Structure 1
Amino acid sequence: MAMSSAEAVADFGSYDVVIIGAGSAGSVLANRLTANLRRTVLLIEAGGSDNHPWVHIPVGYLFAIGHPRLDWGFRTEPVPGLNGRSLIYPRGKVLGGCSSINGMIYMRGQAQDYDDWRDLGNAGWGWDEVLPLFRRSERHFGAESDHHSIEGELRVEEQRLRWPILDEVAQAAQQMGIRASADFNAGDNEGVGYFPVNQRSGIRWNARKAFLDPARRRPNLRIVTGAHVQRLALDGKRVTGVIFRDRSGLHRVHAGQEVVLCAGAIGTPQILELSGIGRPDVLRRLRVPVQHVLQGVGENLQDHLQLRTIFAIKGARTLNDRARTLWGKAGIALEYALKRSGPMAMAPSQLGIFTRSDPGQTRANIEYHVQPLSLDAFGQPLHTTPALTVSVCNLRPTSTGWSHAVSPDAGMAPQIQPNYLATDEDRKVAADSIRHARRLMAQPHLARFSPIEIKPGAGADDDDTLARLAAEIGTTIFHPVGTARMGTDPLAVTDAQLNVHGLFGVRIADCSVMPRIVSGNTHAPAVMIGEKAAELVMAAG
């Protein structure tokens, strides 16, 4: 609902810091800032409680995506590079944000990713500088080391299941020359191994449990849910607070020190635009008065496109056949009830492979998510015969898109155009990725399982045909970043201290500030950005 000029706005009081968004970064920020009991913090979350079983049972991600209580239910615009297909674009709608519906994979990316951020003019963001921030929040299953901590709040555990067929795929990857990796998170993730996950004894460990539960006992933190931000309050070039709506109406809260936007790569640019901050052409379409021109707001959207190749197999069990009968399903449920293990403890992907799509790549540029199951799409039933999904994604795409508000009504979903496969380079990597998956499954070590390519389907091997097939099977892996990127160029939205260029009293701390997407999953980097933001806010006041 858009604000009416005659609608009363109630005073919600004053806090030192107002945080918008209780996702991965916002939860960390709320925890760290309220450790000083003299600093008052208001955390505003548009979604609700995460007390739903599909949030906490790991396999529940299959049912959380698209659930109207748990997911905002966004869709992309038709994507030209995907033959005009529109994709679902899940975003968490509860405390913990996307950490409550994501794949639970803990992956930092590569050291070079962060050194590249630093070299783009963002001092303080190199690998050696962000590694202590990753360690600060981490409670790792292994021993204390230079790369890992066992003292933090975010649990990182080994998966509580093994599928023999995945062990065989790992052996096939090594037969191709891909080394075994004992640790994907030491700065170079090239190799094959099982993904570490954010779980505690087979139960999802989201940002709410890790960071908000310890902090919400403090008297200086207030959390409001079901509170949809309408806009930032500005006095000239200073952000003085936030206007938000809940079930009781409109409220204005004053921020004595600053406001920190942690609404994510889709929510943050929308809030900026509804506040009159962004591209003038977009603001004119919204009929929102221009308060501050920033041409990069909503631009530079980057995401990982996964190509979900599927191979039927023989002579090995997969979830397809194990969950086919009522007895099989009952056994799965009993195993989880008694041991918190088995298929119900599964993260969406178990086996990971980071490697190079062609020998000319200087470092790993593709990531596999190998799953002992197959289905047509999330939310669809499993196939009835044994099969593997061998997904491959381009870690560093060169295609960029955008996300913009479409209405002054904050409740209207924004337009999202990821613009996948828009560049020749991305189409070439897509073609090479399908070839790579075929070579993996054709390794002699897997011959006894008689793999047969089901999707996209064996056939032509030329670049044009494979790029067309990639357009047919490609789908998001839910890693949007970059829509309010930090930097020093004319399209940058924040500086290296996360301050919004040209404004006072407002920072951004979420994946929208990434100048380039990381070479891996995005939850761990979002937590790190929250840690960095906390340091910056505390240093400022």
Structure 2
Amino acid sequence: MRSFDFIIVGSGSAGSVVAERLSANGRYSVLVLEAGGSDRRFFISMPLGYGKTFYDKSVNWMYRAEPDPGLAGNADYWPRGKVLGGSSSINAMVYVRGAPDDFDEWRDEGNPGWGHADVLPVFRSLEDHDGPARSLGKGGPLHVTDCSKSFHPLANAMIKAGQEAGLAYNADFNGATQEGVGPFQLTTKGGRRMSAARAFLRPAMKRPNLTVITQAMVTRVAFDGKRATGVEFVRNGKSETVAAGREVIVCGGSINTPQLLELSGIGDAQRLRGFGIETMHHNAHVGEHLQDHLGINYTYRANVSSLNQILRPWWGKALAGMEYLFQRKGPLSISMNQGGGFFRTDPSRMRANMQLYFQAFSTLVPKNGERPILTPDPWPGFSIGLSNCRPTSTGSIHIRSSNPHEQPRIIPNAFSTDHDVAEMLDAVKFLRRIAATPTMSRLIVEELLPGPACQSDEELIADFRRRSGTVYHPVSTCRMGPDPAQSVVNPRLQVHGVDRLRIIDCSVFPNIISGNTNAAAMMVGAKGAELVLEDQRQSR
């Protein structure tokens, strides 16, 4: 049996960082097991290739949630990365750390070392920003780009309209304040996606003490009593067991991590018995407390050219493609989200509770097999989208059976609280305020979705229940906390009740953050790795 000091399950946003940090000093042997394959694919590297990977089963788990009453019975689609870099290899690349209060809340819930003052240096150590914003770090492995000079004029018009609707201009959502409207910072470099694999894992793979095995589906954590000793995985139809001399570190994300724990006998004992799984350690919180951001777009027909006219016709694709191939510039080199912001649905709120997204194209006409970003609508159009920052609805993710290849049951419970419904109603009304500003009203021919017939509160609520969906930020299914009766891992990210097993990914978030989760996942990876190294130093 092969043996390594550390086994890391998953090479996503957190796992790639953990692998880089634990292998850096050359003292430890590190194994990374990734269920997916290589990230060296053109449509992963090209930022707007996001539309191609959205339904590509070769790099995407392509999960489906259960039919959700809060979403008018829809079974929401949940893409997740199944590739080196995980979801950072297929996401929309917006880099937002989260509001400072988010992390102070983590600390105040009994998790010392996780306040904003504690995690800010960790963020900065990761970052290498090329723009004027002073809040972001310089010289780190993760390049963060200011793409504002490449925005389509419609995106700039939407930023101006946001100011006319009462929002302050904010050039840096990672700075002193999150609230306002402006350009998003993006995880790209030289016109290519800067995934966690590109930033952290690929450079680390040159080290002799780091081994990465792809197409390796981990099926169970192995134990000797209550001590994790290794993992079992399947590759090319063959089962193999590898031993961990120091720790097993699960970085599977908010879906795969609780799935693996339950398959390994850690979870609610009654649930596990129902699937014929022997309970190694009872913890009813595994897979519970799921939180996610929900989003919706309002879409408009314009009287000026949008990205639709560039990306829809074959000749436009050809020109954009040549510009990208030869110069790494143009619309293919940046995110679909060209600007946005954060706002309060009620001025009495202490901080922003909604996030805006501006998209200088529209995709009402469906296309089989892909999200039609690269083949948008044949008319000039654009979208203004939003998502809730701190929803109060919670769901769950649990195994369906003892078969590790069967997708888990995802129950989001979207809009299951009056709070979430009320704030989304206020938020969509604010979208129409933006559309009614002098700047936008001059450019809009008509509102296409939901359309002018949708006016009453009841109609607006019915519409956002029918059309809203995940914005792909699931967290908290193995949340952190000091009390084993209320959480899955302690503040050092060790699984309660067992030894030598740690979780380092978005599933440990005590609560969801305000904004995109990729940056915070990488921060958790870096801080989690430092906790591992601290414990190793103390044990010596």
Same fold (TM over 0.5): yes
Contact 1:456–1:473 under 8 Å retained in 2: no
Question: Which of the residues 527, 533, 536 maps onto 1:538?
Answer: 533
Corresponding position of 1:370: 358
Cα distance, 1:35 vs structure 2: 1.1
Alignment identity in percent? 43
Question: Deviation digits for residues 469-520 of structure 1, max 9, x if unmatched?
Answer: 1111101111111100001342310111001111110110000001111100
Larger mean Cα displacement after TM superposition, 332-341 or 107-116: 332-341
Corresponding position of 2:411: 417
Contact 2:78–2:472 under 8 Å retained in 1: yes
Corresponding position of 1:334: 322
* 1:510 equivalent in alignment to 2:502: no
Corresponding position of 1:520: 515
Contact 1:130–1:528 under 8 Å retained in 2: yes
Question: Which of the residues 436, 448, 457 maps onto 1:442?
Answer: 436
The residue identity in structure 2 corresponding to 1:230 is T
Corresponding position of 1:399: 393
Larger mean Cα displacement after TM superposition, 482-491 or 531-540: 482-491
CA distance in 2, matches of 1:318, 1:142: 26
Structure 1: which 5+ residue stretches go unaligned? Answer: 1-10
Contact 2:63–2:80 under 8 Å retained in 1: yes
Contact 1:282–1:404 under 8 Å retained in 2: no
Question: Which of the residues 489, 494, 499 maps onto 2:494?
Answer: 499
SS of residue matched to 2:289? strand
Q: 1:343 to 1:143 in 2, by over 3 A?
A: closer
Contact 1:110–1:187 under 8 Å retained in 2: no
Corresponding position of 1:7: none
Cα distance, 1:447 vs structure 2: 2.5
Question: Deviation digits for residues 215-272 of structure 1, max 9, x if unmatched?
Answer: 1111111111111111111112111111111116111111111111100000000000
Question: Which of the residues 55, 72, 83 maps onto 2:72?
Answer: 83
Question: Which of the residues 239, 261, 265 maps onto 2:250?
Answer: 261
Question: Deviation digits for residues 37-67 of structure 1, max 9, x if unmatched?
Answer: 1211111111111121110111110010110
Contact 1:109–1:187 under 8 Å retained in 2: no
The residue identity in structure 2 corresponding to 1:149 is G
CA distance in 1, matches of 2:81, 2:153: 33
Structure 2: which 5+ residue stretches go unaligned? Answer: none
Q: Which portions of structure 1, spanning 4 or more consecutive aligned residues, are displaced by more than 4 angstroms?
A: none
CA distance in 2, matches of 1:227, 1:293: 27
The residue identity in structure 2 corresponding to 1:386 is P
Corresponding position of 1:54: 43
Question: Which of the residues 379, 391, 408 maps onto 2:371?
Answer: 379
* 1:301 equivalent in alignment to 2:296: no
The residue identity in structure 1 corresponding to 2:518 is H
Q: 1:73 to 1:450 in 2, by over 3 A?
A: closer
The residue identity in structure 2 corresponding to 1:385 is W
CA distance in 2, matches of 1:448, 1:38: 63
Question: Deviation digits for residues 251-296 of structure 1, max 9, x if unmatched?
Answer: 1111111111100000000000000100123212321111101111
SS of residue matched to 1:36? coil
Contact 1:143–1:149 under 8 Å retained in 2: no
CA distance in 2, matches of 1:196, 1:21: 26
SS of residue matched to 1:124? coil
* 1:428 equivalent in alignment to 2:422: yes
Question: Deviation digits for residues 423-460 of structure 1, max 9, x if unmatched?
Answer: 10111111111101000110122222135221112235
Contact 2:478–2:487 under 8 Å retained in 1: yes
Describe how 1:272-291 pairs up with structure 2 within 5 A. Answer: 272-291=261-280
SS of residue matched to 1:174? helix
Question: Which of the residues 325, 347, 351 maps onto 2:313?
Answer: 325
Alignment length, in residue pairs? 528
Corresponding position of 2:332: 344
Corresponding position of 1:40: 29
Cα distance, 1:461 vs structure 2: 4.0
Contact 1:481–1:511 under 8 Å retained in 2: yes
Corresponding position of 2:452: 458
Contact 1:78–1:84 under 8 Å retained in 2: yes
Question: Deviation digits for residues 148-180 of structure 1, max 9, x if unmatched?
Answer: 221110000112622111111111111122111
The residue identity in structure 2 corresponding to 1:161 is S
Question: Deviation digits for residues 307-328 of structure 1, max 9, x if unmatched?
Answer: 11111121x2112222232222
The residue identity in structure 1 corresponding to 2:42 is P
Contact 2:181–2:340 under 8 Å retained in 1: yes
The residue identity in structure 2 corresponding to 1:447 is S
Q: 1:143 to 1:345 in 2, by over 3 A?
A: closer
CA distance in 2, matches of 1:530, 1:329: 38
Cα RMSD between the aligned structures? 1.4
Corresponding position of 2:345: 357
Cα distance, 1:346 vs structure 2: 2.7
Question: Which of the residues 85, 89, 95 maps onto 2:84?
Answer: 95
Cα distance, 1:144 vs structure 2: 8.6
CA distance in 1, matches of 2:499, 2:258: 17
The residue identity in structure 1 corresponding to 2:306 is T
CA distance in 2, matches of 1:510, 1:394: 21
Contact 1:143–1:150 under 8 Å retained in 2: no
Contact 2:188–2:334 under 8 Å retained in 1: no
The residue identity in structure 1 corresponding to 2:156 is D
Corresponding position of 1:217: 206
Question: Which of the residues 229, 239, 243 maps onto 1:250?
Answer: 239
Contact 1:435–1:461 under 8 Å retained in 2: no
Question: Deviation digits for residues 324-367 of structure 1, max 9, x if unmatched?
Answer: 32222222112212321212113121111211112232111100
